[in-house]
A and B are shown apart, each in its own frame.
Chain A
Amino acid sequence: MTRQPPAAVLREEEKAFLVSLESIVGKEFVASDPATRYIYSQDLTENEPHWPFGVVMPSTAEEVQRIVLEANRFRCPLVPFAYGLNMGGLAIPGQDAVVVDLKRMKSILEVNEEDLYMLVEPGVTFGMIRAHLDEHHPGFRYTYPLAPPQTSALSNALMDGLNNMSMRHGAMSEWLNGLEAVLPTGELVRVGSCAIVDSWHGRAPLPDLAGLFLGWQGATGIVTKGALQIWPAPRVRKRFFLAAYDARTAYRIMLRLCRKDIFDDLACVSWPLGKMLFGARGPLAFCPGEPSLFVYGDLYAESEAHREIKEQIMREALVQARREGGNFEEPMDVDDLIQINPGYAKLAEYPTTLDFLLDYGPGGMTWVGSYGPGSTWAEGVEACSDILDREGFPPILVARPMKGGHFWVLRFILHFERPDPRDRERTRRTLGLIADRLLDLHYIPYKPASWAVEKIRERDRFGVFELMERMKACLDPKGILNPGRWGL
């Protein structure tokens, strides 16, 4: 997979830069040995490895600042890295660079119950948040992705991820009340209310400069703190699982239900995941007559009476969906499913580890995740499932309506054999075909890898990328931070 290793001996200027970093963080937190460089050069995806020439681990925003200033002095690129688990190769250096591993910055600095936010550093994981809230603030909750617990909550927000309350509250960038970042030129800035007053309650009414950092894949600043919204934890919860026999039925059900404003989470997985949840392993095949999609929902309520009302609304919506010709089963209670199959608990408690999904493949995993309009969702499911089937992949899909149905997710997951160059090539080709089709249906890949950025750029009709280039040039004149991301 790794082709030939880079030069074992670093260039003089690289060595000098690393020495300067040692004076900032201490020798024990700078590494340039081959084993370290090898690990940070690649991830689980099909993206090509690129060896950094060093890795540095700061512990404070001040250290990050000093690192960035030194990087400017040496004109050495930096790549921010929290836990490295993303499906776009986003923490793999695009060129010779130093990786800035932010794991040491892992404090939950504040949880403000009254103003409903928590202030975290980039090394804070979903697991840490869950443990902290459960112990110290049990009346409050955060939102979690299907990614494993040891992933950065702040990175997830900065990259517009989607979590289990995103159906109601939107993509994760909307959960950020403000942030602190080190600019590529070394200044420490804050955006949001925290820049003016000693409160991290929101981004309005100032001009929303958070957009300078959200979605930029670390190319415009290293975020050192972020305030994430928390919500009260409801008292009652019920989870449903419903089998739908075709994509259009699944769509109409989710469309109806998300507009009723009764679910916190509503999502959909395709039949391969349904089978995996029921214990199937190995090569998967669709059996004629079985449901192709499974819709699941999380219904929260303040009381049993509240829950009953919401359930009644749900049932009425489903009756209507059936009258419209929807082909689906009655909903099943996830707690009941857990009784016959404990594996269902993995979709029931968050954060979670979908071991069956991680373990399914021979060691490589990737996806195309995209955001787009509901009006083409079903067509996207069918078209991309066909592509996957043709290319020999099971159509593993995770999807949900977002922010009450204002936009939707289509995310197709592929497993492949990383060490096999032919399998990587097949995977890349398939990802490309899917991305093209999604773009045709107005879905834009999120957290896009470099190859996906090219496809997005090809469709730029209004100079978005030119605007991005101008902003990047303004913020990062020397091209220090994660150069190459977004093709910039």
Chain B
Amino acid sequence: MESVEVVELGKTSILTLMLKQILDRNLQDPWKSRVMRNRVLTVRVRSRQMQTTLFFEANRVRAEDGAHGRPDIEIVGDMPVLLSISLGASPVRAVLARRMRVRPMRWKGLAYGLRLMLMMQLAGPPIHLRLLVRRGREKGESP
């Protein structure tokens, strides 16, 4: 799966386009592309009045505007919040600050929630390494 499939790029909402950009980047990354491989998950993302449904279908990822099917997990947040999470901001902090809501709606949403969060973040070192890096910065080291 090399990129997120959408029906017609020009007729796709900007939320879907933004999510596609983030996921496309990760699907090109050799490490990140394995995160959701062979897994099936339906994700609904809501941002104000826009909705996008992401279909992770084993080796294929699709995105469609609107609410489709029964989502396994729902994410609600403004575009700036989703952007900041894609760039490494803590989803936990965003949830605690009520800037984002993550609602597993079926067992798969719970099971794959962490993987999904990894896919929503742009490719970088694995998360445990990033935690180490962050701890280093807090000690005053330059990035």
A and B touch in the complex (CB under 8 A): yes
Q: Which residues of A contact B (CB under 8 A)?
A: 243, 245, 271, 274-275, 278-285, 287-291, 329-332, 336-337, 339-341
Q: Quick one: which of B1-45 are within 8 Å of A by CB?
A: 8-15, 17-18, 20-22, 25
Q: Given A274-B14, A278-B18, A289-B50, are A340 and B9 neighbors across the interface (CB < 8 Å)?
A: no
In the complex, how many angstroms separate the beta carbon of A334 from the nearest chain B beta carbon?
11
How many interface contacts (CB-CB < 8 Å) are there between A and B? 79
In the complex, how many angstroms separate the beta carbon of B24 from the nearest chain A beta carbon?
9
Q: Judge whether B78 and A330 touch: CB under 8 Å.
A: yes
Q: Judge whether A341 and B21 touch: CB under 8 Å.
A: yes
The 7 A-B pairs at the shortest CB distance, nearest first, are namely A289-B49, A287-B13, A278-B17, A285-B11, A284-B10, A282-B10, A330-B80
Q: Judge whether B13 and A340 touch: CB under 8 Å.
A: no
Q: Given A340-B83, A341-B21, are A289 and B10 neighbors across the interface (CB < 8 Å)?
A: no
Q: Judge whether A340 and B25 touch: CB under 8 Å.
A: yes
Majority SS at the chain B contact face: helix
The interface residues of chain B lying within 8 Å CB-to-CB of A339 are 87, 122
The interface residues of chain B lying within 8 Å CB-to-CB of A281 are 9-10
Q: Which residue of B lies closest to A294 (CB)?
A: B14
Q: Judge whether B83 and A336 touch: CB under 8 Å.
A: yes
Q: In the complex, A290→B47 CA distance in Å?
A: 9
The interface residues of chain A lying within 8 Å CB-to-CB of B79 are 243, 329, 332
Q: In the complex, A129→B52 CA distance in Å?
A: 45
The interface residues of chain A lying within 8 Å CB-to-CB of B80 are 329-332
Q: Judge whether A280 and B17 touch: CB under 8 Å.
A: yes
Q: In the complex, A278→B9 CA distance in Å?
A: 9
Q: Judge whether B22 and A329 touch: CB under 8 Å.
A: no
Q: Which residue of A lies closest to B13 (CB)?
A: A287
Across the interface, B78 reaches (CB within 8 A) one of A271, A282, A329, A340, namely A329
In the complex, how many angstroms separate the beta carbon of B8 from the nearest chain A beta carbon?
7
Instruction: Name 12 extra pairs, CB < 8 A, besides A275-B14, A284-B10, A290-B49.
Output: A274-B14, A280-B12, A281-B9, A283-B11, A284-B11, A287-B13, A288-B49, A289-B51, A290-B13, A339-B87, A340-B22, A341-B21
The interface residues of chain A lying within 8 Å CB-to-CB of B10 are 275, 280-285
The interface residues of chain B lying within 8 Å CB-to-CB of A291 are 14
Q: Judge whether A290 and B25 touch: CB under 8 Å.
A: no
The interface residues of chain A lying within 8 Å CB-to-CB of B65 are 287
Q: Is B90 an interface residue (CB 8 A)?
A: no
Q: Quick one: which of B57-94 are within 8 Å of A by CB?
A: 65, 78-80, 83-84, 86-87
Q: Is B128 an interface residue (CB 8 A)?
A: no
Q: In the complex, A289→B45 CA distance in Å?
A: 13
Q: Judge whether A289 and B21 touch: CB under 8 Å.
A: no
Q: In the complex, A279→B8 CA distance in Å?
A: 11
The interface residues of chain A lying within 8 Å CB-to-CB of B87 are 336, 339-340
In the complex, how many angstroms separate the beta carbon of A249 from the nearest chain B beta carbon?
13
Q: Is B48 an interface residue (CB 8 A)?
A: yes
